[in-house]
């Protein structure tokens, strides 16, 4: 039973300068509960006029926020982290209602959101330059300065965490922010921003304009007065965002799609291999994660043993509303369910019937069974294209060279993983695979502190860690002639 649900307002607005109001067009979006398909609330659908107002306000917010000492920004961002933890259960329930993911997963993602504000709160007074030795007649040094107003286009799959992943370092560096949340999941961004305002961030320094990508998103990515735009989403949309940004010489930071391999060698612990496969593709947001382990490449000698264990484990997963904390929740929307269903048919045409799963469930909400296709050819669409759902391809390899070749033979390069007890082999895998992050014997290893981003069609730039501050600062060099 879905009980003890958080209070969600009957309607939400754009949030500009701390005031929530209707969109300038008067249009609204309806937010649905993916577990039932029923409406949750309506949210103002902002357009270019609202984005323009938000950017103008944020320029004033930048002057205020940047005027705070770095130590004061540290204090405020840590206060924000504590406030998020205090509200963790409420925010997690909102995320589950908007997105559909299991409640325990949402709780973990809100904790990661808090941790981001804590991490960058600790970094705000440590954004330092360098001195450069020239000669006795000169002193040369660098400083890192904020960009001013930064744009943030946040996706629907991990909304609280990905809100914080870019907004927190931007604020730590002294910038103001304009946020465009996904149409499917705008409530969490609005609630998080209200917490920021309540805990010391000037209202004008963080503004939220919900709306459709073709209007609000396009207006933000192409706005001439923002210093950077951060986008997480599909590679196709990311290209459009990048083009719009570059037209204004605005720096784009793009974390895009993935088709990430998990290579399982014949010396692997099969229980570990199966557990990490399940975590990587089925039990994390129903596979709706760009870094999902969506294709396994298993050594021929252990193919049958691995698949036997995997299918048994997959068939033991519970499917149902995320608010009841099932292993696998619904997909985010009816539209996305249709997309995944189309890929299931593509898989049947290319490979045949899956070993398990493959059905769209006949019930209210947007549910598809966790699905495993075996012996998938390297050139199959199902293996090459990002499905973004609980659909796994399994293929095989004979030797190390083939494992590397198959791992690299896609357009994406976000993450990759390997299960092996041979650390020499693991290091060679890390050296030779074209991906921005490598996992060894554990999927989703690392954390907020570890740089994350992709090669090839998986994007430009890095999020997380100290590296992310570079996204939201510009480097200035100062050279003084001290001989005169």
Angle between helices 400-408 and 423-432 (to 10 degrees): 30
- Whole-prediction pTM: 0.96
pLDDT for position 3: 43
Instruction: Compute the average pLDDT of residues 268-293.
Output: 97
Rounded Cα gap, residues 50 and 210, in angstroms: 9
Label residue 440 left, alpha or beta by phi (over 0 means left) and psi (-120 to 50 means alpha): beta
Instruction: Compute the average pLDDT of residues 76-100.
Output: 97
Q: pLDDT tens digit string along 339-352?
A: 999 999 999 999 99
Q: pLDDT tens digit string along 431-442?
A: 999 999 999 999
Q: Is 340 exposed, middle or buried (0-12, 13-18, 19+ CB in 10 A)?
A: buried
Rounded Cα gap, residues 292 and 455, in angstroms: 16
Give 7's pLDDT tier (boundaries 50, 70, 90). Answer: confident
Instruction: Compute the average pLDDT of residues 358-380.
Output: 97
Q: Is 7 helix (H, G, I), strand (E, B) or coil?
A: coil
% of the chain exceeding 70 in pLDDT: 99
Q: Can you name the residues that pair with 417 across neighbouring β-strands?
A: 262, 439
Q: pLDDT tens digit string along 62-80?
A: 999 999 999 999 999 999 9
Phi, psi of 281 (to 5 degrees): -125, -30
* Catalytic annotation, residues: 255
Instruction: Compute the average pLDDT of residues 168-177.
Output: 98
pLDDT for position 353: 98
Give 172's pLDDT tier (boundaries 50, 70, 90). Answer: very high
CB 169 within 8 A of CB 464: no
Judged against a pLDDT cut of 80, whether residue 2 lies above it is answered with no
Q: Is 417 helix (H, G, I), strand (E, B) or coil?
A: strand
Q: pLDDT tens digit string along 196-219?
A: 999 999 999 999 999 999 999 999
CB 139 within 8 A of CB 167: no
Mean pLDDT of the chain: 96
């Amino acid at each position: 039973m879905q009980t003890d649900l958080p209070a969600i307002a009957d309607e939400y607005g754009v949030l500009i300068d701390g005031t929530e109001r209707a969109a300038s067009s008067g249009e609204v979006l309806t937010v649905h509960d993916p577990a039932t398909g029923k409406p949750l609330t309506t949210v103002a659908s902002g357009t270019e006029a609202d984005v323009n107002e938000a950017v103008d306000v944020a320029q004033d917010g930048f002057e205020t926020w940047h005027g705070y000492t770095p130590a004061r920004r540290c204090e405020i961002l840590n206060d924000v982290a504590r406030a998020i933890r205090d509200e963790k259960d409420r925010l997690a329930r909102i995320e589950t209602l908007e997105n559909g993911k299991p409640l325990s997963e949402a709780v973990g993602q809100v904790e990661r959101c808090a941790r981001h504000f804590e991490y960058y709160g600790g970094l705000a007074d440590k954004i330092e330059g360098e001195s450069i030795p020239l000669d006795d007649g000169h002193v040369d040094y660098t400083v890192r300065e904020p960009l001013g107003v930064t744009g943030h286009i946040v996706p629907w799959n991990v909304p609280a965490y990905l809100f914080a992943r870019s907004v927190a370092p931007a604020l730590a560096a002294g910038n103001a922010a304009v946020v465009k949340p996904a149409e499917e999941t705008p409530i969490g961004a609005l609630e998080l921003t209200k917490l920021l305002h309540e805990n010391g961030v000037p209202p004008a320094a963080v503004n939220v304009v919900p709306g459709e990508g073709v209007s609000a998103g396009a207006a933000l990515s192409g706005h001439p007065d923002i210093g950077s735009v951060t986008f997480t989403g599909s590679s196709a949309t990311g290209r459009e965002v990048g083009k719009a940004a570059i037209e204004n010489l605005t720096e784009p930071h793009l974390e895009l799609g993935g088709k990430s391999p998990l290579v399982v060698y014949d010396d692997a612990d099969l229980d570990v291999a199966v557990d990490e496969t399940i975590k990587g593709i089925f039990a994390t947001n129903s596979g709706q994660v760009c870094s999902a382990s969506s294709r396994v490449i298993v050594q021929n000698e252990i193919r049958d043993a691995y698949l036997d264990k995997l299918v048994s484990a997959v068939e033991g997963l519970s499917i149902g509303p995320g608010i009841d904390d099932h292993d696998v929740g619904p997909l985010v929307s009816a539209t996305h369910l249709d997309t995944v269903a189309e890929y299931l048919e593509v898989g049947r045409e290319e490979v045949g019937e899956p070993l398990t799963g493959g059905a769209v469930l006949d019930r209210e909400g947007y549910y598809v069974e966790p699905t495993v296709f075996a012996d998938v050819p390297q050139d199959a669409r199902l293996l090459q294209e990002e499905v973004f759902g609980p659909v796994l391809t399994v293929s095989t390899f004979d030797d190390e060279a083939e494992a590397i070749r198959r791992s690299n033979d896609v357009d994406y390069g976000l993450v990759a993983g390997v299960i092996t007890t041979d650390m020499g082999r693991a290091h060679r895998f890390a050296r030779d695979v074209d991906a921005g992050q490598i996992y060894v014997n554990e999927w989703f290893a690392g954390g907020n502190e570890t740089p994350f981003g992709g090669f090839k069609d998986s994007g430009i730039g890095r999020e997380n860690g100290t590296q992310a501050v570079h996204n939201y600062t510009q480097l200035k060099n100062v050279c003084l002639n001290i001989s005169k």
